[in-house]
Structure 1
C-alpha cells in the first residue's frame, strides 16, 4: 500500500512506531506523549487490538489513555474481516484524532484489515493530520513494507526475513521491534539488502520513534533506536545468494540513537540529544 495523498492545505499526522513492552505504569512517557499529539483532553483515540489474541488488551489501552488525560478512547475490536464493515466503528475511526494499534501478530492485522475500509480510513486519517501509532506488531504494520516474520541473529542471511504489505502510511522506513532484546539486526539488514531505498528502523523495547509530518524522527523512551541507512550501499550479494548464505553488504551507515536524538529521513542526518557536546 502506498501512502495516501496529502492535500495542499494539510499536513500528515505523526507516525509513531513503538518497540513493544512500553512502560504503562510507572512512567508511561511514550503513551502520554501519544495522547498529547492526539489532542490531550480533546483527544479521541481509536484503539485497535486486532493483533492480539488476549481479550483484555484493548480494554487495558482504553483505560490507560483515559488515565493519561485523553478526552475519549474506544476499542474497535476487529476480530474478523466482516467486522471491518461495522458502520458504528468506522464512523468512530473516521472521527478519531489518534489511532493506536496494539501488539501481537502483525499478520493478524494484515489478513483481517488489509484492503478494507478500515485500512483506507487509517491512511486517509494520517494524511489529513491524525496521529497513528502502534506497538510491536502494531508498529511493524505502519510502513509500506512490513517485516512479517524472520529469524534472529546478527548476520544477515538469504531467506532469514519475509516481507509483506503493511498499511503504507510511509514508504521511507522498514520497521523492526523488540530489536536488541531479540537480536534482530541481521533480519533488518537482510530486508534492506532486498531494496535499500528505505531506512531501517530497529526499535528497542520501551522506545518509540515519533515521526512528524516533515519526516523528522525523534526518539522517546528508555532504550535506543538503531537506524540503518543503506542509501549509499555499494554492494549486496543478496541477488546471488542461496538460502541460508551470509550476505555481504558494503557502504552501510548505522546510527544508535537514544532518547532526545533525532533523524531526518529526507536528509539522512542524525542529531544527538540537545545539550550533548562532542
Structure 2
C-alpha cells in the first residue's frame, strides 16, 4: 500500500513538473518573407539550424498555396504542384545543409496538401515528425491555402507544433498567412492605383476567413510590399474597424524574424515597413470622403511610418516602439513650407491628369483661375522623347482648355519664351530624367509676377526644392526592381535641385507607377522638407488664400522632420517615427496635433454598392463626410467545417491521473481479496 501511495505521489509530481515545462516552453519563431526564394534561403536556414532537435534539422514543406481550388483539383494539377514543390523542397534542404555544421543532419519533408480532404486525411498528419525544427510555406494564393486549412486537423496540428517551438516561415503568399488577420488581396474592381478607396482591400478577419490562428496577433502582414506597390492596400486595411491597426509590409526578397511580436534581424535584400495607425489614433479619426460619383476616399492623419533594413534595428509590435526611438507623447507641426511668396500666382501641382482631361475638376479650376474663354495660355511640354510625342500630348490638354493658346516643346536647356500678357502657364512632363530645370526659369519668373501655373506629371517635381531624376517605372523586371526596391538603398536615387517654387519635394504617380522608393529617398535625404506624393488624378492648389486638395484621388504627405534616421548593413533606409498624412479632394492641407492621449469618436464606415465601379468622380466640399453604417458586403467565403479541439496536454495529464487512481483502487481491492 505504501509503495502504491508513493508511486501515486511521484506520478503527480512528474505530471506537475511536465505541465510547468510545457507551459514555459517558448512558441516558435515566425519568419514572414515578402517573396522569392534564393535571396531568403540563407536567413531562414540560419534560424532553422539554430532550432535543431537531437542533432537533426527537419523542415516540413507545405505547398498548399500552390492549389487553385481548396475543395478539389485535377490529377494533372496535383502532379504539377508536387513536381514544382519538390524542386523547392530540394532547394530548402540544400540551403539547410549549407548553413548547418558538420554534426547536424538536414532533411526537408514535403507533405502533399492542396485541398481540405488532404488537410483532414490522417495519412497526411502521419507524415509530420514530432521533432520538427521548422515549417516552410511556399508561395501562391494565401486565400486558397487558408480555405484548405481552416478548421482542419492539420491546422490544429500546426498550432500544436508552433506551441512546441517549431519555427513557421513562409514566402510570398506563405508569408501573408503568418498573421491571424490576413490580407486576401484586392476586392473586385480595385488594384494598386485606386487602393485608397474604401472597400479596396480584401481583409480576412473572421472565424471562417483568417490567416493561421497562431500568426501575428497585433498586426496585419502584406508581402511583395514595394515590389507591387501595396502601400495603399495595407494602409487602407489597418484603418478599418475591428482590424489590428498595425501593418507590416515585407518587400520581396526580404524576410524578418518575429519573436514574441518583436520584429528583428531583417535579412535578404530590402526593407520591412511598419505602419502604425494606433499610437496617434489615426484609425479612430479616419474619415471617408465621398466623391460626386459615389466612391469614398480615405482621409487619415498622423500614421506613424517605420522602416527596418538588415542590421540591428528592430520593432516591438506590442509596445509599438522602434529600437531607434519611441514615439513622442505629443507632436505639433505646421505646413508653413507650403506658403507662397507675396505676389506669386496660384500654383496647381498634379500627379497625372492625362487619363481623363475632359470635364476634369483640376483642369476646370485652372481655367477659372486663368480667365476661361478669355485666357491667354502658354502650354509647355518637357521631358518627352521626341517633339512629335510632346505635341501629341499638348494637343490633348489644348482640347480640354478654352482660350487662346501658345504651345512650346522644350527639348534642351534653352529657356522658354513667355509673353508678358499670358494669363496662365501649363507645364506637362513625361520623363523626369529628361527635363531641364534651366529651360523653365522663365516660368518661375512669370509665376512670381502673379501668373497662375499648373504643373502635371513629370513637370510637378521640378516645382519643388529637389526632385528625383528618373524615368517612369519600366516594364522590364530587373529595371523595375532597381526603380522600385533598390531605390530604398541610399544613393540609388539621383536627386537634383528643382526650381524651388515651393520648399517641399514632390513625386507624381505614386500608386499607379509605384514611386514609393523615390518618394522615401527624397524624404530621407531632405528630412527638413515635407515630401508630397501625388496620386494619378490628384492635385494640390496653393495660393495665398488656401492650400486645397483637388481631383479624384488622395495625396500623401510624409514628414520626417522629427523622425530618427539610420542606415542598415545593406545601406538601406532605417526610419523611426515618420508621420504620414493622407488628404482627400476638398480637404485643406494642414496637419493635426499628434497626441497619444487624444480621444476621437470613430466615423461610421460607408456602405458599398454590390458592384463598386472604378472611381472617376470630381471633388467635393471638405465638409461632406460619410454617415452611413458599417458595410454588409462580404466576399464569397470558403466552405468550413467545425474545428476539432486540439489535443491538449493538461487533459492528458488529468486522464492519466484519473486512470492511475482507478488502478490504485482496483489494486487495493485485489490485495484485499487475496488476503481474504
TM tier, shorter chain? 0.7 to 0.9
Conserved in 2, the CA contact under 8 Å of 1:57 and 1:102? Answer: no
**Alignment length (residue pairs):** 269
Find out whether 1:67 has 2:94 as its counterpart: yes
Deviation by residue 1:229-251 (Cα, 9 ceiling, x = unmatched): 1112241125x768742201112
Deviation by residue 1:127-153 (Cα, 9 ceiling, x = unmatched): 221101111111111211110111214
Q: How does the TM-score come out when normalised to structure 1?
A: 0.87
Superposition map of 1:80-159 within 5 A:
80-93=115-128, 95=130, 96-150=132-186, 151-153=191-193, 156-159=196-199
Find out whether 1:237 has 2:287 as its counterpart: yes
Deviation by residue 1:173-226 (Cα, 9 ceiling, x = unmatched): 2010111011001110111011463420101111112101x3221111111011
CA distance in 1, matches of 2:139, 2:109: 17
Conserved in 2, the CA contact under 8 Å of 1:17 and 1:134? Answer: yes
2:300: which partner in 1? 249
2:249: which partner in 1? 202
Find out whether 1:268 has 2:308 as its counterpart: no
Conserved in 1, the CA contact under 8 Å of 2:194 and 2:200? Answer: no
CA distance in 1, matches of 2:138, 2:164: 22
2:270: which partner in 1? 223
Deviation at 1:94, TM superposition (A): 5.6
CA distance in 1, matches of 2:308, 2:299: 25
CA distance in 1, matches of 2:88, 2:236: 33
Deviation at 1:66, TM superposition (A): 1.8
**Larger deviation, residues 116-125 vs 49-58:** 49-58
CA distance in 2, matches of 1:35, 1:146: 24
**Larger deviation, residues 223-232 vs 83-92:** 83-92
CA distance change for structure 1 residues 119 and 241 in 2, over 3 Å: closer, same or farther? farther
**Larger deviation, residues 167-176 vs 28-37:** 28-37
1:50: which partner in 2? 64
CA distance change for structure 1 residues 39 and 189 in 2, over 3 Å: closer, same or farther? same
Q: How does the TM-score come out when normalised to structure 2?
A: 0.37
Conserved in 1, the CA contact under 8 Å of 2:272 and 2:308? Answer: yes
SS at match of 2:239: helix
CA distance change for structure 1 residues 87 and 194 in 2, over 3 Å: closer, same or farther? same
Deviation at 1:155, TM superposition (A): 5.6
Deviation by residue 1:58-99 (Cα, 9 ceiling, x = unmatched): 212211222122622111111221112332431333622211
Conserved in 2, the CA contact under 8 Å of 1:103 and 1:138? Answer: yes
Conserved in 2, the CA contact under 8 Å of 1:153 and 1:187? Answer: no
Compare CA radii of gyration and give the structure with the larger one.
2
SS at match of 2:197: coil
Deviation at 1:32, TM superposition (A): 2.3
2:3: which partner in 1? none
CA distance in 1, matches of 2:162, 2:46: 17
2:635: which partner in 1? none
Find out whether 1:21 has 2:48 as its counterpart: no
Deviation at 1:20, TM superposition (A): 0.5
Counterpart selection for 1:76 from 111, 133, 147: 111
Superposition map of 1:170-209 within 5 A:
170-195=216-241, 197-209=244-256
CA distance change for structure 1 residues 82 and 155 in 2, over 3 Å: closer, same or farther? closer
CA distance change for structure 1 residues 245 and 12 in 2, over 3 Å: closer, same or farther? same
CA distance in 2, matches of 1:253, 1:271: 14
Deviation at 1:154, TM superposition (A): 7.9
Conserved in 2, the CA contact under 8 Å of 1:201 and 1:227? Answer: yes
Across the aligned residues of Structure 1 and Structure 2, the Cα RMSD in angstroms comes to: 2.7
CA distance in 1, matches of 2:225, 2:194: 11
Higher relative contact order (CA 8 A, sep 6+): 1
2:213: which partner in 1? 168
CA distance change for structure 1 residues 71 and 133 in 2, over 3 Å: closer, same or farther? same
CA distance in 2, matches of 1:57, 1:264: 36
**Larger deviation, residues 105-114 vs 152-161:** 152-161
Give every structure 1 segment of 4 or more consecutive aligned residues whose post-TM-superposition deviation is greater than 6 Å.
273-278
SS at match of 2:184: strand
